[in-house]
Chains A and B, each alone.
Chain A
Amino acid sequence: MASSTVPADASPRAIADVIATEREALRETGGITDGSIATNVKPSTPRSPADVRPERITSRDPDAFPAITGREEEWRFTPLNRVRPLLDGADSDARLQWKTELPDGVTLREVAADDALLQTVPTPVDRLSALAMSRAHGAVVVSVPAEAQLDEPVVLHLSGTGEADVVWAHVVLDFGAFSKATVVLEHTGDARYAACVSVLVGDGAQADVVSVQEWERTTLHSSHMGIRVGRDAKARSMDVTLGGDLVRLVKTVEYAGTGGDAELLGLYFADAAQHLEHRLFIDHAVPNCRSRVTYKGALQGDSAHTVWVGDVMIRAAATGTDTYELNRNLLLTPEARADSVPNLEIETGEIVGAGHASATGRFDDEQLFYLQARGIPADEARRMVVRGFFAEVLQQIGVPALEERLLAAVEAELERTSL
């Protein structure tokens, strides 16, 4: 995909022009839909990427958020009837089953709600995340000590045990200054799970967080992952969402100092009737920070629905910002629906670059023909194309065993249809 570079003295208007030109170019090359929406059926109300969103509410108090009607920007794509069991869920003692692999030096502790650390974590951004934080009545804190350099990943296996009650949870991943570590969160089983995940990346640290959703098909999962990137720190976060009935992952990025770098990657594969939603908000409020977003999704089957919303805000103070986001969706069967909404708000023209691209395309018959014309049977050719589509994201997990396993999981998804 083309990247756009905007001159340092560009006005917001000029930047908008760059984006418009780029979108135009992408549209001409095919597969691109309007930057605001990418879908094959029932397009939603188009929005210009420069649209200013209504003011964002953040609060730890669930009642600070207005009652949800489904008309709100952040809920308009979510089937409320299906998320109701979470929204209406009562306080509960239900928990996921935890199995952990903690390399030497990494600690795990449970803390009460009044713990000092919890007062500093990123604030919930919607009613569900505020409910999760307050009803978790504390948090599980996983800490990587300052300057630790881990060779092995921290792995947290969280599995649902089939309880009907909502599991409310708050997980804090605390990466000490100048540490380097990978944390893998693996979600399996059957659950109604509403969580806050706070990712605190200390100054100069390099933190990789991989969240894998391999739930059973009955699971409801909502989460707000709030990432705070320290000065000169690098946070990489990857979502791999394959399972669940309804999964709605909200991710926010804030920068605590200059020189921060956030790379958000995602891979999702929706089958018939699955609703998989990923919403990102990157808030560039300090100078000289960078963000990169690459989310790729495949859809197959009746009523398979994915939503990707990528909001990037460049505030007036955030000079020298460099941001680019990309979402691509591959429709393997015609009845699936992918919504893709990139939004970019720019309050200063003194930036390095800002751009986005969104494209949703059908399975490319020409690719299939090319591979088949070399003797490769149709089903194997499809696997090669889908594998190739995801390779760019999958190869960046950095945990080879996990990459292999997830690739196999993606291929198992493909097997599920008569594609």
Chain B
Amino acid sequence: MSVPNDRAAGSVLSIRDLHVTVEADGAPREILKGVDLTVRAGETHAIMGPNGSGKSTLAYSVAGHPKYTVTSGTVTLDGADVLAMTVDERARAGLFLAMQYPVEVPGVSVSNFLRSAATAIRGEAPKLRLWVKEQKEAMARLDMDPDFATRSVNEGFSGGEKKRHEILQLELLRPKIAILDETDSGLDVDALRVVSEGVNRVRATGDTGVLLITHYTRILRYIQPDFVHVFIGGRIVEEGGRELADELETNGYTKYGAELAATRPPSTHSLPAGPIFGGTTTPA
């Protein structure tokens, strides 16, 4: 397949039959068992699922974390083979991952980090004066104290500060596709509102496709998804519009009992073969 690399047409992240393993006790263990998903610029997709379903593995595999091995399937961004790229190449191609547990980098200031990232993503160093202003305004929109810029990246940050910092990067780096991995976890209502507003500002540009990974439905009251995918046992088992999120809020994941049972223990034999709700899951 080939999609013209044209911003006007909107970027497309295309995941096809993705299988991913991790090394566990010296042997590879399959976590993703055939994921199909298409995210276009301007769309917001929520991926919901219980703990251990493989949601985060999907996020990190697309971003290129070395811990995960893709055994089959494809990931393309506007037709380009994402899996052939290094982690930094993926970011420069337009992928962004807001992490559930952002990493501390002692001795590297937030401002140095942000400018280095912006320089890498934009292909040239932003003019210092303009950049200072841009960073300051972006921080103000997220209710972040200006002193924040002088602190070491994520070091001693509260949970809320870490997530604001992730969304600050999202706003400054303006990716084609943003994957938000449990950005809502550990946030109080105020922080959740501020963070959600940041995500909504990015969505409003229409240039970014958002893949929102969450365990809870709470954040979907602030960020209204266009599509909801239920993720269990390393694959998407159901999908629909935002009404599916409401249904999950009421009933939880109990109706997926069979798949749930298959999620957890790494059993020695493989689980029921084949997709349960049909193979391709590309929303129209």
Contact = CB atoms under 8 A, between A and B. Distances in A.
Interface of A: 364-367, 369-378, 380-381, 384-385, 387-392
Contacts of A373: 63-64, 87-88, 90-91, 96-97, 99
A116 to B, nearest CB: 46
B276 interface: no
Interface of A (DSSP majority class): helix
Question: Which has the most chain B C-beta neighbours within 10 Å: A364, A376, A381?
Answer: A376
A378 B88 contact: yes
Contact of A367 (B86, B103, B112, B169): B103
Contacts of A374: 88, 91, 113, 116-117, 120-121, 169, 173
A361 to B, nearest CB: 12
A136 B209 CA distance: 73
B26 interface: no
B104 to A, nearest CB: 8
9 contacts: A365-B66, A366-B103, A372-B87, A373-B90, A373-B99, A374-B113, A378-B87, A389-B106, A391-B106
Given A364-B103, A385-B108, 10 more contacts: A370-B99, A370-B102, A373-B90, A374-B113, A374-B173, A376-B91, A376-B120, A378-B88, A380-B120, A389-B107
B74 interface: no
A388 B86 contact: no
B258 interface: no
A388 B152 contact: yes
A73 B271 CA distance: 60
B108 A372 contact: no
Closest CB pairs A-B (n = 6): A388-B107, A391-B107, A375-B120, A374-B117, A375-B91, A372-B87
A387 B173 contact: no
Contacts of B152: 388
Contact of B107 (A371, A380, A392): A392
B9 interface: no
B108 A387 contact: yes
Nearest to A366: B103
A159 to B, nearest CB: 31
| Interface magnitude class on chain B | 20 to 34
Question: Which has the most chain B C-beta neighbours within 10 Å: A378, A385, A388?
Answer: A388
Question: Which has the most chain A C-beta neighbours within 10 Å: B88, B92, B103?
Answer: B88
B65 interface: yes
Interface string B89-126: 01110001101001111111000110011001100000
B121 A370 contact: no
Contacts of B104: 367
A230 to B, nearest CB: 33
A376 B107 contact: no
A392 B116 CA distance: 20
Contact of A388 (B65, B97, B105, B120): B105
B173 A375 contact: yes
Contacts of B92: 375
Contacts of B91: 372-376
Contacts of B116: 371, 374, 376, 380, 384
Question: Which has the most chain B C-beta neighbours within 10 Å: A364, A377, A390?
Answer: A377
Contacts of A375: 88, 91-92, 117, 120-121, 173
Nearest to A385: B105
Given A375-B117, A375-B121, A370 B103 contact: yes
Nearest to B102: A370
A385 B108 CA distance: 7
B180 to A, nearest CB: 13
A367 B105 contact: yes
Nearest to A296: B107
Contacts of B86: 372, 378
A388 B106 contact: yes
Contacts of A380: 116, 120
Contacts of A371: 105, 113, 116-117
Contacts of A392: 106-107
B65 A369 contact: yes
Contacts of B63: 373
Interface string B134-159: 00000000000000000010000000
B20 to A, nearest CB: 16
Contacts of A367: 103-105
B107 A390 contact: yes
